[in-house]
Structures are given as C-alpha cells and as structure tokens.
Structure 1
Amino acid sequence: MIGQATHTLLALWQLGFVLGQLDPQIVSAITGGIIDGTSLHGTSLNSLMDTLSYRNVIGMEVDNYSKWAMTSPIAYPDRGVVTLSPREVHSGQREAMLARKTSLTATGTQGTVSWLIDNRRVIVMWEAPFNFDFYSNKLAVGIIPYGTHTSAMFDVMNKGSGNFTRGVYDRNIHTIVYCDEDLCVEGTMGTSHKTQVHIQVIPTAIDNVARTLETYIPETLVG
C-alpha cells in the first residue's frame, strides 16, 4: 500500500499544487474555479462570523475539488453550539459552517463534522478553547468508513490515532493533510479565539476532478 506522504505528493502533483510543477497563476486559476454554494451566496465567511459576538467562534469553509458531491453532513458539537449547520458541498463548490461557545460559560467550542463522499466520510475535528493558558486551537482531518462517525470521534481524533492527521495551532498556521487512494483532505486553522478553518477535498486522479474545474487544468497534466 502506498504511504500517506506518497499519496499526498501524488494528489498535489496531479493537480499542480507542488511548488515548481505548475505556474502559480495556473494554480490560482484552479483555486479560483471553486464557486460559492448556498451558505455563502452573497456573503463571505468573515461576514458570517461577524454576526456572532462571542469570545470563541469558528468559521469553517469547505472546498470540494472532486467530481463527487459531499452529502449527508453530520455534526457533533462536543462543546458549544453549531449556529450555521453544515450543508451538502456540491462538486466544484464551497460551503460554510459556524460554531460558537455556549453563552455564559467559560468554555470554548469543539466537535466533529463529516460528509459522505463516494462511500466513505471525510471528517474534521476542531477545538477552540476558551483560553490559551493550558490549551491551544487544534484541528484534525481524516477519512473514515461509512457509518463510523459517532459523538465519540471527538475524543478519538483529539487524543488518539487512526485514519486522520492532527495539528496544533498555537503560534503558526500550517497545513495538515490526510489521504486515501482517491482523496486528500487538507486543513488549516487560525491561532486566535475567533478563528477560521479552511478545508480542501482534492482527488488524487485528474479523472476525478470536478467537471467545472477541468478547463483550468493545463493540457500537459491531462492523459
């Protein structure tokens, strides 16, 4: 079986995301091909987050570069409240989700969210603590079998190991990646109490890129 790092390089190379493989302008063109879904129609993630006047808020934006729709979203907030529920993310589109701390409590927001995509689930774990004295922002991304996302997944992804990659965001913003044979899931998270999470779902084969994005891929990478 090909290792996770190999899968990551393969996926990013095939889509032209490895530095030196493709002109940055073309990379920008592919990224720019993603269009806003219903949750972002006429607005932005920043604007949506500005409607929540709480200490701890996460705004999550999910970009789907694959030909498959991301359906049947499930969210399990372990702490806090989901105020903008996750939507289906159609092929070639992006959607948003919002969560915040519970009112009148010294707790932050944390939980898991997943989408069904081509017989498995892409899953994301977030933790945005109330203060940074002993804890930091934390993000994990993974791909799990269908039917295995339960509320217990927060503890598994926060402290354990499995089909996911985890990162801590206390000083620097960095990208975490988890891949299987068909998909790579990339994630970044900010370092503040009111922070953004950006998720990209990228296929490992050009044939599985969203049809609306095919025209952005240079002919030298096709076939």
Structure 2
Amino acid sequence: MSRPTLPEASADAGAGADLLRIVRINEEIKSVVGIAFRINIMALNAIFLAKRAGTTALGFGVLSNELRVFSQDLRTGMEALTGLVHACVAEVSRVLQDIRHTGLLRRAVADVERPGPAAVLARREAENAAHSAHLAELRKALQRALEDAFRLVELGSVLAKSAKIEAAYGQSFAGELSQVSGEFAGVVEEIRESLESLRRSAFFNPPREAGRAF
C-alpha cells in the first residue's frame, strides 16, 4: 500500500494544526464573553451607585450606562466571531478530507493510468481549490471581525478613562466611584490582552508557503 507523499503529509499536518488553533481561538472568545458579562454586572452596580451619589455623579452614571451598552455590543461581536469560527472548523475539516481523498485518488491514477480515474481526480482537485478559497475568505472575515472587536475595545477604554475622571467629582462618593472606574479599566485591559492573543495566533497569520492553500 502506497504512503502519502511528503507534501500531502505536510498539508495534512498543517490542516490538523489549524483545527487545534481554532479550538484555542474559540476558548479565548469564550473568555472575552465572560469578561463582557462581568462588565455588564459592574455597570449595573455602578449605575445604582451613581444614583445614590446624586447629582454629583450624573456624568459617571451616564458613562456607566454606556459601558453597559459596550459590554452588550462586545458580546454581540463575539457571537459573530464564534459563528465564523464554527464555519472555519467545518471548512478546515473539508480541506482535511480533500487532502486525504485526493491523495488516494492521485495514487490510484498513478497505478492504473486510465482516463476515468484521472477525470475524477481533476474534479476532486477543482473542489479542493474551491474549499481552500472559501477557507481563505473565512480567514479574512475572521480577521475583519477581530479588528472590529479591537475598535470596540478602544471605545471601552475611552469610556473607562472618562468614568475615572467623572469619579473625581463624586464628593463623598469619589472613593467608591474611583474604585469602580479602576475596575472597569482593568477588565477592559483583560479583553485587550485576550484579543491580542487572538491576533498573534498562527491561524490569523498563516505562513506564506508556496502551494499551501490554507
């Protein structure tokens, strides 16, 4: 029984590694969703605190509400990323099947040297190219969604800094408000670090290898 050629084995290993990277990406996204949920709870508590502080914390209350909206928008963005990740899993699985099935067909064609199997191989290779092209598009869509999330986190960072400024006007509540605003800044920074981890992933920055389709 003939064995896979070196390029086939390399491509198979590459697609398998991509699946592992996607699983890690999905775990990182879940982490961001969890942090977004924390921000939502924190924002609700901050809004109640601002109400207790009265007119001196009106600005802080407005910013706390904006941070609550930010957390909801972030969760929506992460849901979009999750959908793209699931689509990538399906497409990488197809690419893995392509590599294995095409390898078998190629060796069969080499053994029998007849036109029938050769035509099947040609169709299979055309399907492979289509799947690889689709996966490349999904990569780009995932990258765009990640950049959108970064822009949203920049907004969250600005809101957290503004809340810290407003906290200083809280008079007798200034200490409590400052502590809350500091917590906001900390969790937004956690999100930034998680997104940076995603950005560094090899799935978002695949090696430029000649002939590699995924």
- TM-score, structure 2 as length reference: 0.21
Higher-strand-fraction structure: 1
Higher-helix-fraction structure: 2
State the structure with bigger RCO (CA 8 A, min sep 6), 1 or 2: 2
Bigger-Rg structure (1/2): 2
- TM-score, structure 1 as length reference: 0.20
